[in-house]
Amino acid sequence: MKRRLSAAVDYALALLMLLAAWWYATGPMAMPTYLLPSPLRTWNALAGIAMTGELWMHLGFTLQNIIVGLILGCIAGTAIAYVMTRFPKLATWLDGPLVILQTAPKIALAPLFVVWFGFGIMAKIVLVFSLVFFPVFIGAVAGFRTLDPKMKDLAKLLGLSALQRFRRIELPAAMPEVFVGLKIGAVQALVGAVLAEWMAGKVGLGYLMTFASATYKTPLLFAAVLTTVALGLLLHVALTFLERRLLSWKGVANG
Amino acid sequence: MGQSERMIDITSVHKTFVADHGTVTALEPVSITIREGEFISIVGPSGCGKSTLLRLISGLDQASGGTITLDVAGAVRPVGFVFQEPVLLPWKTVLENVRFPLDTSGVRRAQGDKTALDLIKMVGLSGFEKALPRQLSGGMRQRAAIARALSDDPPILLMDEPFSAVDLLTRDNLNDELLRIWQSTGKTILLVTHSVEEAAYLADRVMVMTARPGRLKCVHDVDLARPRGEDTKLDPAYHALVAQLRRDLRTPAGEAH
């Protein structure tokens, strides 16, 4: 407990020093606002869009795309990984196309997604999905493949149905590996969501950034960037919490 | 039902595998009849087919020929199986693991809890109901595995080298516990082991198997008084049997020397 508190103090001190350096650069050093707005101006810009509700609309849109993409990517990644480990024949068929898709840089595909799926929400979710799918898929394949064969014997002895076996044995056993993929995927999801908004559309934190930089509203740009950073932190905290709840049996609770 | 009633009837059961270089005989034809409530030890070196025989009886593998008849009156899960490793579900507590066979066959939770708690008490794990497998010692995990194998009350308990991964002191304790459990439940038990001492100490009959190809060499009746305990290990008859089992394993039949 004491150690945790002192760590928190250390974090706070480091952040304070960063803030002080920022203030120093804009105040005594007199950096122009269009290059580096002061902490106060940035705060005012942030408070401004928070008051009008604009911030919440953009934040909500981006967060919603991330969550929908994460959930769909997780379900699809786990499901396809399971089907492939259950039916090795299918795996040999799907292996080639999947490797091509996997190695293709998804960021480079982003413009194509806009062409195919339009300026709306669809293209964004497809991009996030494509970024989340592969880490989860790879993790899940590893999880399903490393299942103790004796567990299969156990399932057979107990006469479990395919569904019981999946839900009660295979899925929980693969969860730690799925989670490794999910945590990588979540970082990618944020990148993907913001990037998709840069390219098209009129809403989202990414859009807010392009709008602010195009109109030389640097304080607003800073506000948008900081909000994105905060969103990333929030995702990380949420996933860590979820991991501790779901995988406490692994002994990660003290991590 | 009397002690002499047939529980397992094995007739000319054999098993061959198809390998890269032709077929491999894992088990030559075996025939034996096991009575209800009997404790059978199966002893032999690696590759003698003793685990194969157990897997065939359990239905985990299919025999290449011969018949196995279990007189279990249509029980859905006629056998409980204890593996060499505990094979507990690491995300479930001891109670949930022991209850697992019941949960997956639609037994009501209250009834399942009652049965599981009784069994946990019987195997000496009271106080550890809420513990996760990783928090237990190897011997305790194996106790939990035994409780799980017994939870839906199968008439037959198959054990594949269940105590080979625990230290010798723990093993002695677990052997005595197993005898106590056997006596209080009346299960028919088949236990595979590497240890001739363990085989002789526990069983009513010892099946001796030899390797390459795996075959049943002979079956010894164990005429040692029950209940068995430390005194049994001082009994000259026990030592004579252990020595005989050793000799059986040393000189494989048909091998000239």
Closest Cβ opposite residue B104 in set A148, A158, A251:
A158
The pLDDT of residue A254: 44
User: How much is the pLDDT for A91?
Assistant: 84
pLDDT of residue B256: 41
What does the alpha-carbon distance between residue A45 and residue A50 come to, in Å, rounded to a whole number? 9
Nearest to A48 by CA among A232, A235, A228, A217: A217
* Closest C-alpha to B228, from B189, B188, B159, B177: B177
- Tens-place pLDDT, residues B93-118: 999 999 999 999 989 999 999 999 99
Model confidence at A115: pLDDT above 80: yes
pLDDT band at B257 (very low <50, low <70, confident <90, very high): very low
Q: What are phi and psi of B219, to 5 degrees?
A: -125, 130
Measured between alpha carbons, how far is A133 from A111 in angstroms, rounded to an integer?
Answer: 19
**pLDDT exceeds cutoff 60 at B255:** no
Question: Is there a contact between B76 and A164 if contact means CB atoms under 8 Å apart?
Answer: no
Once rounded to an integer, what is the mean pLDDT over residues B60-72? 92
Q: Quick one: pLDDT at residue A107?
A: 82
Collect all residues of chain A within an 8 Å Cβ-Cβ radius of residue B92.
249
* pLDDT at site B21: 82
Are the C-beta atoms of residues B160 and B145 closer than 8 Å to each other? no
Lowest-pLDDT range of A98-102, A148-152, A173-177, B253-257: B253-257
| Strand-strand pairing, B205-210 and B215-221 | antiparallel
- Whether residue A235 has pLDDT greater than 90: yes
Whether residue B134 and residue A249 make contact (CB cut-off 8 A), yes or no, is: yes
Greater confidence (B100 vs A199) lies with B100
> What local confidence, expressed as pLDDT, does residue A160 receive?
93
Residues of B in contact with A251 (CB under 8 A): 134
Tokens of residue A189, six digits:
């999801």
Contact residues, chain B, for A158 at CB < 8 Å = 77, 100-101, 104-105
Three-state DSSP at B67 gives strand
Kindly give, in sequence order, each residue whose CB lies less than 8 Å from that of residue B127, ignoring residues fewer than 6 positions away.
none
A5-31 mean pLDDT: 89
Show which of residues 127-146 on chain B sit within 8 Å of chain A, judged by CB atoms: 132, 134
- Least confidently predicted of A107-116, B157-166, B200-209: A107-116
Is residue A255 scored above 50 in pLDDT? no
Which pLDDT value is given to residue B2? 45
Residue bearing the bigger pLDDT, B257 or B232 = B232
Task: State pLDDT tens for residues B114-151.
Answer: 999 999 998 999 999 999 999 999 999 999 999 999 99
Which of B70, B89, B134, B141 has the most A C-beta neighbours within 10 Å, making it the best mutation to test the interface with A?
B89
B90 contacts on A by Cβ (under 8 Å):
249-250
Q: Please, which residues have CB within 8 angstroms of residue A172's CB and are 6 or more apart in sequence?
A: B89, B91
Q: Give the Cβ contact number of residue B213 at 10 Å.
A: 16
Report the percentage of chain B scoring pLDDT > 70: 96
The CA R_g of chain A, rounded to the nearest whole Å, is 22
Residue B159, token pair as written in the block: 């054990």
Q: What residues contact residue A205 under an 8 Å CB cut-off, 6+ apart?
A: A58, A59, A61, A62, A193, A194, A197, A224, A227, A228, A231
What confidence tier does B177 reach under pLDDT thresholds 50, 70, 90?
very high
Distance between CA atoms of residues A4 and A144, nearest Å? 36
Report the pLDDT value the prediction gives residue B166, as an integer from 0 to 100. Answer: 87
pLDDT above 70 for A227: yes
B134: chain A residues, CB-CB within 8 Å: 249, 251
User: pTM, whole model, 2 decimals?
Assistant: 0.84
Greater confidence (A114 vs B54) lies with: B54
Residues 6+ apart with CB under 8 A from B226: B183
Give the percent of chain A with pLDDT over 90: 69
Starting at the earlier edge strand, list the strands of the sheet with B205-210: B79-82, B156-160, B188-193, B39-43, B205-210, B215-221
Judged by CB atoms closer than 8 Å, whether chains meet at B83 and A150 is answered as yes
Q: Does B91 touch chain A (CB under 8 A)?
A: yes
| Partner A contacted by B100 (CB < 8 A) | yes
- pLDDT at residue B1 in the model: 42
Judged by a CB distance cut-off of 8 A, whether residue B74 touches chain A is no
* pLDDT of A167 over the 90 cut: yes
Contact A69, A128 (CB under 8 A): yes
Residues B34-48: pLDDT tens digits?
999 999 999 999 888
Name A79's Cβ contacts closer than 8 Å, sequence gap at least 6: none
Interface check for B87 against chain A (CB to CB < 8 A): the answer is yes
- For residue B132, list chain A residues with Cβ-Cβ distance below 8 A: 249
B69-93 pLDDT, tens digit per residue, is 998 877 778 999 999 999 999 999 9
Helix (H, G, I), strand (E, B), or coil: what is residue B188? strand
* Cα separation, B245 vs B241, whole angstroms: 6
